Amino acid sequence: MHNGNNMPQTQEILTILGQVCDPEIPVLSIIDLGIIRQVKISDNQIEIIITPTYSGCPAMDAISIDIKLKLIEHGYSQVKITSILSPAWTTDWITETGKRKLKAYGIAPPQYSGSPAKNVECPQCHSQHTKLLSQFGSTACKALYQCNDCKEPFDYFKCH
């Protein structure tokens, strides 16, 4: 992430943004998700540059509104949100903290896109003995898996 020239203020804004959650996976903040690409601070305005996760993700509009509201709450009234598409978001940008939170929430975190595919681990019993039920899960970002050992179906945040 590139930061503006005003480091302490940038840090403060990032801390505030850390309180904005993904409406569909409320344990993840938008910082955990890796969609904040840049914070630009000028005398009269703060510009937040974000990148969408999935094209059709209805959460993106909600996230933009939540960012504005949260910053207004902290006294920043002139906020501009700019969405950029390139470079395209990848699940590799989800932070390690984000991955831990996902697992604790019962969603198997994404594997690294470059590394060889391993078995998806069951977030309940940690078994590697799992199978894909459907490439598409309850939201665009998830695939549906089932554990062959504990039999629990679970969501896998698929590699993107």
Contact 60, 33 (CB under 8 A): no
Contact status: 122 vs Zn ion (CB under 5 A): yes
Q: Least distance in Å: CB of 56 to another protein? A: 3
Site string for another protein, 114-133 (x = CB under 8 A): -------------------x
SS3 8: helix
CA 52/CA 54 separation, integer angstroms: 6
Q: Is 14 in the site for another protein (CB under 8 A)?
A: no
CB of 23 to another protein, least distance (A): 15
Q: Which stretch binds another protein (CB under 8 A): 11-19, 20-28, 82-90, 118-126?
A: 82-90
Phi, psi for 19 (deg, rounded to 5): -95, -5
User: Which phi and psi (to 5°) does residue 93 adopt?
Assistant: -85, -5
| Residue carrying structure tokens 């594997």 | 111
- Please choose, out of 1-9, 25-33, 37-45, 145-153, the segment that lies near Zn ion by the rule CB under 5 A: 145-153
